[in-house]
Homo-oligomer: A and B are copies of this chain.
Amino acid sequence: MTENTAIEEERDDDAYVLDKGTVAAVLEAVEQRDSKRLAELTEPLHPADIADLLEQISEADRHELIRLYGREFDGDVLAELDEGVREDVVETLSPEALAGAVRELESDDVVDIIEDLDEPQQEAILDALEDADRVAVEQALTYPEFSAGRLMQRETVTVPEHWTVGEAIDFLRSAEELPEQFYHVILVNPRHEPVGYVTLGRLLSSRRDTKLKDITEDSFRTFQVNEDEADVAYAFNQYHLISAPVVDEQGRLVGVITIDDAMNVLDEEHEEDILRLAGVGESSMSDNVLETTRQRFPWLAVNLVTAIIASLVIALFEDTIARFVALAVLMPIVASMGGNAGTQSLTVAVRAIATRDLTGSNVWRVIRREALVGLANGLLFAVIMGAVGVIWFGSPALGLVIAAAMVINLVVAGLAGILIPVVLEKLGIDPALASGAFVTTVTDVVGFFAFLGLAAIFLL
């Protein structure tokens, strides 16, 4: 207990939230158009923190800041920005400042920036690049969006497969230019197909006459250039990879993906799942009212349709309700419990599909489990609600009806929560996106129908 408290306290003075004082000081410098003070304040900040700052201030302040910042705008900040804000910043930067910023970047970062921009903005950035970089970026853009080809860096460190440790070290020492980040030396055969890799640590600690082939890592695996980046990220996490070669359709080495890129993708995939489950497509703190309204409207519209369907079910029983108004008081409880149980079951299923923990091998066992869990919780809450019904309205018959409806709806909720995402996945539809609406419709319709239907039969 004391251990947890210590951690909680540390969280409170959170070291990684941009400190409010810094933001206020930056805004003051912007207001006073004091570019020297602005440079002093931002100088010690990491580009990722400057990007966060640009996202957190208002649009007007952001434009002022960029104008003051002028030509010193750091390309790395551009790479760290959220899509929406990045578009705004690219539009605000002068052509010279934009050219200066992107010229500093590695080609994979430029690809990352350029792929989300509009055509004219893309042109502006491509024009700013040197010829070699421009070709590299255009080449990368020919790979499908969200593919390994877009994620990889083209700079690789390769040696012939028959070399020794000594030869590899001498080669590295004499190399003109090495990538900023590399963790392995990749062994290639004469057809330039990667056949294994050796970690730099192993290279440094092995005898010079050791054959590289004899000290390659077991973890070695390659990715296809067209492979989905989400699958790549999954494999990095599952197999604890640090870097991995990317090959084209002929199996030839074309680039390398490193774990920090994979971590980024994993983070984005999670973000997407969590937002989709809540019916929010994309979203950022810096989106304005119009963008946010537009993002949220479609899901609310879908929900309106499902709510109206549920209302149609209620309308079938208008006479019953008119004669026994207690039903109107209690019916939302049955629907709400079903909705929540369904969401529990659904969320667990969606996550398990995403993490490959729900497969053909265990799906039937999990379906059976969800039905039984629904039954168990249904019986528990049937007893509780039955008692509430009797005490509140003094009617044992009403207690029995609500108890029975509760059991039925929680079993159905458990089943719908697992079956709907599994079927959607089979149909190639993202279960995170579409399951919620279906599950709620099922639990609302079944909940109202079971409760009011049983009431119509047994209470009148």
Tell me the A residues contacting B by CB distance below 8 Å. 3-4, 6-8, 10-12, 14-18, 20, 23-24, 46, 48-49, 52-53, 55-58, 144-147, 169, 172-173, 175, 178-179, 181-183, 199-201, 203-205, 226-228, 230-231, 234-240, 242, 259-260, 262-264, 266-267, 270-271, 273-275, 277-280, 283-285, 287-290, 292-293, 296-297, 299-300, 303-304, 306-308, 310-311, 314-315, 318, 321-322, 325-333, 335-337, 340-341, 343-344, 346-348, 351-352, 355-362, 365-366, 369-370, 372-373, 376-377, 380-381, 384-385, 388, 428, 440, 444, 448
Contact = CB atoms under 8 A, between A and B. Distances in A.
B351 A271 contact: yes
Given A236-B263, A237-B267, A296-B344, A203 B204 contact: yes
A376 B205 contact: no
A135 B366 CA distance: 41
Contact of A266 (B6, B57, B266, B388): B266
Given A6-B226, A182-B201, A351-B271, A264 B278 contact: no
A365 B58 contact: yes
A331 B448 CA distance: 13
Nearest to A426: B12
Contacts of A236: 263
A336 B362 contact: no
Instruction: Give this chain's copy count.
Output: 2
Given A280-B348, A292-B373, A333-B311, A357 B285 contact: yes
Contact of A347 (B175, B204, B275, B372): B275
B239 A46 contact: yes
Contacts of A288: 369
A264 B292 contact: no
Given A16-B234, A293-B373, A297-B377, A204 B10 contact: no
23 contacts: A7-B144, A24-B361, A172-B205, A173-B204, A181-B201, A200-B204, A259-B260, A275-B347, A277-B347, A278-B346, A278-B347, A278-B348, A285-B352, A285-B357, A288-B369, A289-B376, A300-B341, A304-B381, A304-B385, A314-B328, A314-B329, A315-B329, A328-B328
Given A16-B235, A293-B376, A333 B347 contact: no
Chain A contact surface mostly: helix
A266 B46 CA distance: 21
Contacts of A326: 318
Nearest to A3: B144
A268 B308 CA distance: 38
Contacts of A234: 16
Given A200-B200, A289-B376, 9 more contacts: A14-B356, A16-B238, A182-B201, A183-B183, A236-B263, A259-B259, A275-B347, A279-B340, A332-B444
Contact of A8 (B204, B287, B428, B448): B428
Contacts of A287: 369
A260 to B, nearest CB: 5
A263 B259 contact: yes
Nearest to A314: B329
Contact of A273 (B20, B237, B274, B329): B274
Nearest to A174: B205
Contacts of A352: 285
B14 A297 contact: no
A144 B359 contact: no
A55 B297 contact: no
A278 to B, nearest CB: 3
Nearest to A345: B296
A299 to B, nearest CB: 7
Contact of A332 (B17, B53, B314): B314
A108 to B, nearest CB: 13
Given A285-B357, A289-B373, A329 B318 contact: yes
Given A322-B322, A366-B285, A335 B332 contact: yes
Nearest to A384: B304
